[in-house]
Structure 1
Amino acid sequence: MRAVTCHQSQLSVVDLETPVPATGQVLLEVQRCGICGSDLHARVHGDELGAVMVETGYDDFMRSDQHVILGHELYGVVADHGPGTTKKLATGTPVVSLPLLRNGTAVDALGLSAKAPGAYAEYLVTQENLTLKVPNGLAADVAVLTEPMAVGWHAVARGEVRKKDVAVVVGCGPVGLAVITILKSRGVRTIIASDPSPGRRALATRLGATSVVDPTEGSPFATAKDHKHFTTVPDTLGAAMDAIDQMSRLPVGWWHAWRAADKVGATNPKAPVIFECVGNPGMIDSIMAGAPLFSRIVVVGVCMGGDQIRPSMAINKEIDLRFVIGYTPLEFRDTLHALADGTIDPSAMLTGRVGLDGVATAFDALGDPETHAKIVIDPRLDGSQVHAR
């Protein structure tokens, strides 16, 4: 089979033996594979992230001196079954799969480990019980977005966003666009998107943002006071003193009134839920500095190197900082069915297709946010040209 390998940051098309599914695995013929931002980063920063993963207990993340087949956003059809499989997924069934692979007692990250070759190839193996039939005749170009959309699904869930909350999405690459799409599907009424790219801001609007901001010209938090968000420490201290002044006029101690207000949530300050979807050094600290007090910041973007924040800024603003990765198996399954039901429609973010010979070209093209947002690989396409969707 033909595949694209990453070695010393170089992408090369090679001929390899078609993999053979082991116990509990199925062989898939790849028909689509999304190029993820994680792939772009891992190509040049794999050693850095691999060192971090060792500290978390996973030793087999990809390294620059290995030959690794990337690709964890996949769609294909079942081509063969390994021993010990149930064969509930008949040959020819269109499927997507959670990107994890068992190797003995170990579990490896499919497409991000030399031990679990990914879908930048004509064929790959997946775990049968992690492989899901694509329902309702869902188109390949949409089904392949299950994995990145599940990332957005999980981020929104971790953000605990309510319909009446203000959601701010900083960075409108594929991850930010996925978050916007999920927020819109959940009925969130105010979605502010920030990105310096006019093209990305236009996509954000198409996918559900209610307003967009160019951060080189303004702040996504400029309307904070309009939403009754506290923007300075003196504001919140003054509000507390004003509340005590009013409660002190009651025939009971102000603390009794405050406690009663606490029980019904009346003392909870209004604040936005902010999704950091950039991943550049300094971005988290910049958001903390600009955000209203009591903001909840959900970090979705992956900063591959070191970074610095000022804890005193977060402390004085009482910022809630959350980090997310991936999704749960149930979130992945539910995302697939939401796509198939039309509950979410991220198709606007797909801007191009490319064959295996054009993967390196696609990586370069994704460096220009005005040209492409999401490119998917179709191993059956010839040539190195990126075909516009």
Structure 2
Amino acid sequence: MKAVVCRNGALEVQDVPQPEPGPGNVLLRVLRAGICGSDLHARTHCDATAAVVEEVGYDHFMRSSDSVVMGHEFVGEVVSYGPRCRRRWKPGTRLCALPIIKHGGEVEMVGLSEQAPGAYAEYVEVSEDLAIPVPDGVTDDDAALVEPLAVAHHAVRRSGVGKRDVAVVIGCGPIGLSVILLLKAAGVKTVVAGDYSEKRRELARACGADAVVDPATESPYTAVKQQKRYFTRAGDLFDEAFKALHLLQTIPGMPWRQVVRFADDNGLTPTGPVIFECVGLPGVIDSILTAAPFRSRVTVVGVCMEPDVFRPVMAINKEIDLRFVFGYNPDEFAEVVHLVSKRKVDPSVLVTGTVGLDGAVAAFDALGGAERHAKVLIDPASPVRDLT
């Protein structure tokens, strides 16, 4: 079969052996495969990531010297089954699947390991137990986006954001846009998005962001008016605390529950927005910690594969919560299929281009610029080479 192979940072369409499905696995003919931001990073920074991932117990993450077929966001149709399968679906049934598979008892990351070729190819092998049929009415394009939407769903859940919180999304690439979609699906009333790209700011509006800013000219933390004022300077915080304490002293005998509520309402216990870092480049975390209001909650969704530095004392002084997320749970993946099929999440706006296998290099280059495109899909049956 034909596949896009990555080796030493170069992408090339090659003839490679078609997978033979192993025990418990299914062979799919690929209909669509999404190009993920982590694929862009892995192309050039996989060695540093592989060294870290090996420390946490997985030693097959792609390295630059490997020949890897990437692609972990995909939808395909059933071709054949391996041994010991339940053969739950007829040939031709469309499936999307978690990009995790077992080979010889070893768990592998599909599309991010030489041991588990991904979906930038005509065929891909998946686990039958981790596959989900695509409901009627869900397009191939939308089905291919279930995986990144599941990442966003997991990030929103892990963040602990409430419907009345202000959510700030930094970076409006595919993952940032997906986070916006899932925040609105979760009922969050106020979502602010920030990106330097005008095109991606337009996409953020289309995804439901309530306020969209260019960080070069406006702070996303002051883009919406709040009932409670955010604190960005220690002096302001202390001033409000002294005012609140003074007021408390003028009301002797107040029950402690009312004291807590009164202190919260008067600035003694300020909280900031819930921030989602969706860029994944060095320096972004520190820039967020520097600009974020006191007691913000920061969830890091972007995958930075290079060493990075931030100043803990900045987060300490502001009492900022910093949380990192990875992937998603199987139930979250299945729930996203349901959300898309019921049109509670419409990811179609994310897709800005489709190419064939021969267009993968042009697509990677275009996505590296970030000015015109968000999510580009690969259709192995398409002859398209270039993005317009």
TM-score, with normalisation over the residues of structure 1? Answer: 0.95
Is contact 2:99–2:110 with CA below 8 Å preserved after alignment? yes
Cα displacement (A) at 1:184: 1.4
Matches within 5 A, 1:214-363: 214-223=214-223, 226=226, 227-252=228-253, 257-258=258-259, 268-363=269-364
Quick one: distance in 2 between partners of 1:276 and 1:219? 15
Partner of 1:203: 203
Is contact 2:32–2:141 with CA below 8 Å preserved after alignment? yes
Deviates more, 1:127-136 or 1:184-193: 184-193
Quick one: distance in 1 between partners of 2:383 and 2:142? 21
**In structure 1, what residue type is equivalent to 2:2?**
R
Change in CA separation of 1:197 and 1:79 when aligned onto 2, cut-off 3 Å: same
After superposition, the C-alpha distances for 1:62-82 in whole angstroms (9 at most, x for unaligned) are 011111000000100010011
After superposition, the C-alpha distances for 1:291-326 in whole angstroms (9 at most, x for unaligned) are 110000011111111111111110110000001111
Matches within 5 A, 1:88-167: 88-167=88-167
**In structure 1, what residue type is equivalent to 2:169?**
V
Change in CA separation of 1:223 and 1:374 when aligned onto 2, cut-off 3 Å: closer
Partner of 2:65: 65
Cα displacement (A) at 1:384: 1.7
**In structure 1, what residue type is equivalent to 2:13?**
V
Is contact 1:24–1:85 with CA below 8 Å preserved after alignment? yes
Partner of 1:213: 213
Change in CA separation of 1:263 and 1:9 when aligned onto 2, cut-off 3 Å: closer
Cα displacement (A) at 1:28: 0.4
Is contact 2:362–2:386 with CA below 8 Å preserved after alignment? yes
Change in CA separation of 1:265 and 1:354 when aligned onto 2, cut-off 3 Å: farther
Is contact 1:168–1:191 with CA below 8 Å preserved after alignment? yes
Matches within 5 A, 1:362-377: 362-377=363-378
Over the aligned positions, Cα root-mean-square deviation in angstroms equals 2.0
Cα displacement (A) at 1:136: 2.9
Quick one: distance in 2 between partners of 1:261 and 1:106? 56
* SS in structure 2 at match of 1:362: helix
Is contact 1:274–1:297 with CA below 8 Å preserved after alignment? yes
Partner of 2:79: 79
Change in CA separation of 1:385 and 1:360 when aligned onto 2, cut-off 3 Å: same
* SS in structure 2 at match of 1:5: strand
Quick one: distance in 2 between partners of 1:358 and 1:257? 63
* SS in structure 1 at match of 2:107: strand
Is contact 1:30–1:121 with CA below 8 Å preserved after alignment? yes
Quick one: distance in 1 between partners of 2:264 and 2:218? 38
* SS in structure 2 at match of 1:183: helix
* SS in structure 2 at match of 1:366: helix
Is contact 1:53–1:61 with CA below 8 Å preserved after alignment? yes
TM-score, with normalisation over the residues of structure 2? Answer: 0.95
Quick one: distance in 2 between partners of 1:358 and 1:266? 55
* SS in structure 2 at match of 1:192: strand
After superposition, the C-alpha distances for 1:18-72 in whole angstroms (9 at most, x for unaligned) are 1111110011010100011111111111111111111111110001111100000
Change in CA separation of 1:214 and 1:81 when aligned onto 2, cut-off 3 Å: same
Quick one: distance in 2 between partners of 1:266 and 1:351? 44
After superposition, the C-alpha distances for 1:107-134 in whole angstroms (9 at most, x for unaligned) are 1100000011100111111000001001
> Structure 2: any 5+ residue segments left out of the alignment?
none
Cα displacement (A) at 1:234: 2.3
Is contact 1:350–1:373 with CA below 8 Å preserved after alignment? yes
* SS in structure 1 at match of 2:26: strand
Cα displacement (A) at 1:242: 2.2
Is contact 1:224–1:231 with CA below 8 Å preserved after alignment? no
After superposition, the C-alpha distances for 1:352-386 in whole angstroms (9 at most, x for unaligned) are 11101111111111123222111100000114223
Q: Are residues 1:37 and 2:43 paired? A: no
Deviates more, 1:251-260 or 1:157-166: 251-260
Change in CA separation of 1:5 and 1:327 when aligned onto 2, cut-off 3 Å: same
Quick one: distance in 1 between partners of 2:273 and 2:137? 38
Cα displacement (A) at 1:263: 11
Quick one: distance in 2 between partners of 1:212 and 1:298? 19
After superposition, the C-alpha distances for 1:222-272 in whole angstroms (9 at most, x for unaligned) are 347745222222222232322222222233278675357689999652320
Q: Are residues 1:190 and 2:199 paired? A: no
Quick one: distance in 1 between partners of 2:65 and 2:375? 28
* SS in structure 2 at match of 1:13: strand
